[in-house]
């Protein structure tokens, strides 16, 4: 007996437009990751996306408009990725470790990200500023919550932004030394993760015994469910 085929629901016009725009941004990320902004022509991007060149202008005014939207889009994608990684963490130590690991996992999965980021300072300065403002705002919110809960007692509230940029820098330079390679980003070594967490416990939390329990990778999980953070902001 013949069975009826299940028909897939038709995509709406808005869904098709969103998919096409996403395909152009994805293609742009790949092309810029390979050849840089300077050689990332509209022709190359549309060819990579499998979209007619004229269709490009239905979504972006010009090449610079795409460049200005690309990095902030990737930044939001990074934050969404990290939000999943830090979900369910219980305190600032778990948040930092989960966010740190997640950051480097994201780079491995998205090898073009750092070239896009670094070249954007010159090729797309507005995107560069928007990206860092997005990340700064989210990290400040996460540290602000930890500060209000008494997890950063040795810092004044105005000092949290300084701490944010120190932790930004740590991730960037550790990437350059221990993850970047000619074959693309490599997984961050476990001993580097543990060294970073030693810095967090000893430098950020200043060795306070009530706030510096070893990270989950080196000690049995402590019973702190009453302080669980279900909607934690990602630290990036």
Q: pLDDT, tens digit, for every residue of 32-84?
A: 999 999 999 999 999 999 999 999 999 999 999 999 999 999 999 999 999 99
Cα–Cα distance for residue pair 75/113, rounded to 1 Å: 9
Whether 79 and 133 share a structural domain? yes
d(CA 64, CA 37): 10
Let me know if residue 236 belongs to a domain: no
Residues in the chain: 236
Domain shared by 50 and 101, yes or no: no
Share of the chain above pLDDT 90, in %: 78
* Residue range of the domain that includes 216: 61-227
Position 233 in a domain = no
Q: What is the pLDDT of residue 35?
A: 97
Q: How far apart are CA 64 and CA 51, in angstroms?
A: 18
Q: What six digits make up the tokens of 177? A: 């030394």
The pLDDT-based confidence of 206 (bands split at 50, 70, 90) is: confident
* 69 shares a domain with 51: no
**Domain annotation covers residue 135:** yes
Average pLDDT, stretch 9-35? 93
Q: What is the Cα–Cα distance from 45 to 170, expressed in whole angstroms?
A: 33
Number of domains composing the chain:
2
Supply the pLDDT for residue 211.
59
5: confidence class by pLDDT, cuts 50, 70, 90: low
Is 117 found in the same domain as 26? no
Q: Please calculate the CA angle 9-11-13 and round it to the nearest 5 degrees.
A: 150
Owner of token pair 């000619």: 182
Position 3 in a domain: no
């Amino acid at each position: 007996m013949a069975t009826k085929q299940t028909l897939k629901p038709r995509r709406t016009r808005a869904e098709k437009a969103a998919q096409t725009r996403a395909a152009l941004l994805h293609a742009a990320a790949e092309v810029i990751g390979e050849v840089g902004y300077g050689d990332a022509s509209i022709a190359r991007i549309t060819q990579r996306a499998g979209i007619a060149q004229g269709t490009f202008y239905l979504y972006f005014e010009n090449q610079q408009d795409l460049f200005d939207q690309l990095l902030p889009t990737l930044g939001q994608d990074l934050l969404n990725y990290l939000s999943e990684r830090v979900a369910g963490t219980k305190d600032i130590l778990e948040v930092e470790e989960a966010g740190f690991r997640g950051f480097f996992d994201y780079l491995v999965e998205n090898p073009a990200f750092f070239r896009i980021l670094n070249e954007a300072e010159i090729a797309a300065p507005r995107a560069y500023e928007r990206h860092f403002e997005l990340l700064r705002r989210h990290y400040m919110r996460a540290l602000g919550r930890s500060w209000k809960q008494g997890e950063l007692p040795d810092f004044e509230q105005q000092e949290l932004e300084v701490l944010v940029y120190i932790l930004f820098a740590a991730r960037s330079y550790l990437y350059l030394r221990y993850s970047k390679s000619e074959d693309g980003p490599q997984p961050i070594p476990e001993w580097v993760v543990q060294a970073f967490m030693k810095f967090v416990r000893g430098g950020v939390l200043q060795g306070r015994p009530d706030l510096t329990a070893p990270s989950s990778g080196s000690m049995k999980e402590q019973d702190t469910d009453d302080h669980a953070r279900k909607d934690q902001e990602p630290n990036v």
